[in-house]
Amino acid sequence: MDRSSEIADFLRTRRARIGPDAAGLPADGRARRVPGLRREEAARLAGVSTEYYTRLEQGRATHPSPEVVDALARALRLDAAERQHLTDLFARQDGRRAPVAPQRVRQGLHLLLQTLDHVPAYVLGRRTDVLASNHLARTLLTDFEALPVPRRNLARYYLLDPQARERAADWEQVARETVAMLRLEAGHCPQDRRLADLIGELTVRSAEFSTWWNDHHVLRRTHGAMHYWHPVVGDLHLSYESLQLPGDENQTLCVHMPEPDSPTAESLRILDSWAELPAPGAAVRSRRAGPDGG
Average pLDDT of the chain to the nearest whole number: 88
Specify if 286 maps to a domain.
Answer: no
Q: Assess whether pLDDT exceeds 90 at residue 279.
A: no
CATH number of the CATH domain containing 56: 1.10.260.40
Specify if 81 maps to a domain.
Answer: yes
- The parent domain of residue 86 ranges over 3-91
Specify if 287 maps to a domain.
Answer: no
Return the pLDDT at 290. 40
Q: Which of 16-20, 156-160, 203-207 has the lowest mean pLDDT?
A: 16-20
Return the pLDDT at 247. 81
- Give the tens place of pLDDT for each residue, 65-96: 999 999 999 999 999 999 999 999 988 655 55
Burial bucket for residue 30 (CB in 10 Å: 0-12, 13-18, 19+): exposed
Domain boundary among 62, 91, 120: 91
CA 198 – CA 122 distance, rounded (Å): 20
One domain, residues 250 and 188:
yes
Count of structural domains, the chain:
2
Return the pLDDT at 282. 42
One domain, residues 138 and 197:
yes
Specify if 271 maps to a domain.
Answer: yes
Kind plus residue range of the DSSP H or E element containing 133: strand 130-133
Q: What is the DSSP string of 26-70?
A: PP--PPPSSSS--HHHHHHHHTS-HHHHHHHHTT------HHHHH
CA 68 – CA 285 distance, rounded (Å): 56
Return the pLDDT at 98. 59
CATH number of the CATH domain containing 269: 3.30.450.180
Cβ neighbours, 10 Å, residue 97: 13
One domain, residues 146 and 267:
yes
- With a pLDDT cut of 70, the percent of the chain lying above it is 89
Model pTM score: 0.87
- Give the tens place of pLDDT for each residue, 159-194: 999 999 999 999 999 999 999 999 999 998 888 999
Specify if 289 maps to a domain.
Answer: no
Binned at pLDDT 50, 70 and 90, residue 19 comes out as: confident
Domain boundary among 30, 61, 91: 91
